[in-house]
Structure 1
Amino acid sequence: MKNICLILCILVLNVSCAQEKSELAGETEFQRELNADYKDASKSPLTPKDLKTFKALEFFPVNDTFKVTANFKLTPNTKPFKMPTSTTRTPTYKCYGIATFTIAGKEYSLEIYQNQDPNRDPKYKDDLFLPFTDETNGFASYGGGRYIDLKIPAGNTIEIDFNHAYNPYCAYSDRYSCPIPPRVNFLAVAINAGVKAFKKH
């Protein structure tokens, strides 16, 4: 009898987990993982009020036009600088390299940064940071720009998928301090990809 009860409990748990996974909204794994994090109260940047009604972030339709292979030129001689944020905090970054790519036949360039915090966890040593603004900001996307997380590439090209662009936590709550994308990283094109502006309740 105990064995039967145990099997039934396992089956119920499996069904519950399967239902929970199927309920996660998102067209891609990136979108589903982001939605899962935002639903998790221990990880979510959402305010308690917004978390209560949160179902999913709103994304632009996935568009391969905004998935590019960029030429990547290292900039080893650039000096570390203090990046402004939405608060008085000024984290230190360095321009690690410049990515040049084309979208719809036009060429664009973006600076890609590396955090210079000496106390940063070594597991993030290969991480790069791409903050940018574009012509959707303040309209379809968050006015303060968006971010993309990247890894140091092995060669002289780097993959940039704007479908993975996400909002700073400041888009969801005033309690965060978020880097402001440098002016040089403005793209004079509408990047209709990634996370859209969040509608607060």
Structure 2
Amino acid sequence: MRAVLTLVLLAMCTFGFGQEKFDMMAVQKFQKELNTEYADAKTSPLNTEDLAKFKSLDFYPINEKAFVVAKFIRTKDEKPFKMPASGSIKQIYVKYGEAHFVMDGKELKLNIYRNIELSKREEYKDHLFLPFSDLTSGKESYIGGKYIDLKIPAGNTIVIDFNLSYNPYCAYSHNYSCPKVPLENDLAIEIKAGVKKFHN
């Protein structure tokens, strides 16, 4: 179990925090660091065969329109729950807030969560978890949706850069137990940004 938790923690990298304007260099850094993580046998979720021939993840072209500053609504008095997962290991989360934004002329909402156990660690005390799926899921991107790491905002807005979205480890191996995207975070639009589905 410790190994699985360690890998989960490694996956939760805090890229792009603190930016209020689109930052292409931050996205490029994210892509480079993700590729470095996946190329390293000590941190990679890839199996031995895929790791041996790994060169790079497949990313969508960097898309400035996939960067949004959303209205953040803090939701209080939410009850912690076990988020459904692809495997037997289910982690405890609590709904922390909602992000409201407009993309492609559509008003959208995403729920944002906090991992209870992870938040007890000093380095993750401000960490928030945003799982989502969209109309590219199962086509160009992973069928199970993607994740974005966020930071607790100081005010009533929160930056979401979908260019920083990445696949759950389950997209690369069935050996992991990954949180499933809640139905309320399934968006009825295409978001062509972030990591595409993995081709081994």
Bin of the TM-score, shorter chain as denominator length: 0.7 to 0.9
**2:93 paired residue number:** 93
Gapped runs of 5+ residues in structure 2? 1-26
Q: Deviations over 1:105-128 (max 9, x none)?
A: 211000000011278422211000
Q: Higher Cα Rg: structure 1 or 2?
A: 1
- After TM superposition, give the deviation of residue 77 of structure 1 in Å: 1.5
Partners of 2:119 and 2:163 lie apart in 1 by 31
Q: Distance in 1 between matches of 2:121 and 2:156?
A: 26
Kept in 1: contact 2:137–2:144 (CA 8 A)? yes
Taking the TM superposition and a 5 Å limit, the aligned residue runs for 1:46-65 are 46-65=46-65
* Residues 114-153 of structure 1 deviation map (CA, whole Å, 9 limit, x = unaligned): 0112784222110000000100011000001100000001
8 Å contact 2:142–2:197 — kept in the other structure?
yes
* TM-score of the pair, normalised by structure 2: 0.84
d(CA) in 2 for partners of 1:82, 1:167: 20
Aligned-partner Cα distance in 2 for 1:149–1:165: 8
Q: Which residue of 2 aligns with 1:70?
A: 70
Distance 2:120 2:54 in 1: 32
Asked if the contact 2:83–2:180 (Cα under 8 Å) also holds between the matched residues in 1, the reply is yes
Q: CA deviation at 1:104?
A: 1.5
Q: Distance in 2 between matches of 1:104 and 1:56?
A: 30
- Counterpart for residue 180 of structure 2: 180
TM-score computed with the length of structure 1 as normaliser: 0.84
Moved over 4 A (4+): none
Aligned residue type for 1:116:
I
Residue pair 2:119, 2:125 contacting (<8 A) in 1 also: no
Q: Distance in 2 between matches of 1:46 and 1:120?
A: 28
Select the structure with the greater relative contact order (CA < 8 A; seq sep ≥ 6).
Answer: 2
Amino acid at match of 1:115: N
Work out whether 1:28 is the aligned partner of 2:28.
yes
Q: How does 1:132-143 map to 2 (within 5 A)?
A: 132-143=132-143
3-state SS of 1:38 partner: helix
Identical residues among aligned pairs (%) = 55
Deviation of the 1:82 alpha carbon: 0.9
Give the length in aligned residue pairs: 174
Structure 1 match to 2:15: none
> In structure 2, do the counterparts of structure 1 residues 119 and 188 end up closer, same or farther at CA, with 3 Å as the change threshold?
closer
- CA-to-partner distance for each residue in 1:68-100, whole Å, 9 max, x for gaps? 000000001111111010112221100000000
Unaligned 5+ runs, structure 1: 1-26
Q: Which residue of 2 aligns with 1:167?
A: 167
